[in-house]
Chains A and B, each alone.
Chain A
């Protein structure tokens, strides 16, 4: 597509429910990143995918968080048993190749856990 697309834009969920966030990267971009941004804070790295290689999950904060990506296509970030501290904007970025030449970000999904 023309840019990185994330859905939904906003999600309000009850504490304890599971949520699934979607990221559709730019076509041809092999690298995909998920970040969490709490209100007024910087970016917190969550997970990195590069082609068909094993993902770097070192930033996932707990085992309630997981993410998948099939090949170089859509990625989904799943949060199980959501907690109020999970409330944040979740940003996805994609770039050509490994490393970081220029990354393109989606508009983010604002998650609110009530």
Chain B
């Protein structure tokens, strides 16, 4: 079945540092790919998405490129801020006969001033 693997957290960075959170997936075909963000005390919200290979999703300074060759969708940001401290989830949509999407375990990001 489908699966998503994210790097273990927490990731701790200083403000203005470069961020990469790795995400690789196993799926049939070429599904859309998503990154969700969960700020403290809140639900998840969609951060960005890509619907086909080589697409780049971007939002709030974050980017992720759909790489079918490496089945990856790594999240990057050139200069993180304290306000980016949150948990980030990589996700696959439901597929086949299932209606249940697949989420990664989440990666906690802590940004220090």
Residue numbers of A with Cβ under 8 A of B are 4, 6, 31, 33, 40-43, 45, 48, 50, 56, 58-59, 91, 93, 98-108
Instruction: Give 21 CB contacts A-B under 8 Å.
Output: A41-B105, A42-B105, A43-B103, A48-B99, A48-B100, A58-B100, A93-B43, A99-B94, A100-B91, A100-B93, A100-B94, A102-B34, A102-B46, A102-B49, A103-B44, A103-B46, A103-B101, A105-B36, A107-B41, A107-B42, A107-B43
A33 CA / B103 CA spacing, docked (Å): 13
Residue numbers of B with Cβ under 8 A of A are 32, 34, 36, 41-46, 49, 89, 91, 93-94, 99-101, 103-106, 108
Interface SS of chain B: loop
User: Which of the residues A31, A59, A100, A106 comes within 8 Å of B43, measured between beta carbons?
Assistant: A106
Which residue of chain B lies nearest to A110 when distances are taken between CB atoms in the complex?
B41
A82 to chain B, nearest CB (A): 22
A56 CA / B103 CA spacing, docked (Å): 17
Number of residue pairs A-B, CB distance < 8 angstroms: 58
- Which chain A residues border B108 with CB–CB below 8 Å? 40
A58 CA / B34 CA spacing, docked (Å): 24
A98 B43 Cβ-Cβ under 8 A? no
- Which chain A residues border B100 with CB–CB below 8 Å? 33, 45, 48, 56, 58-59
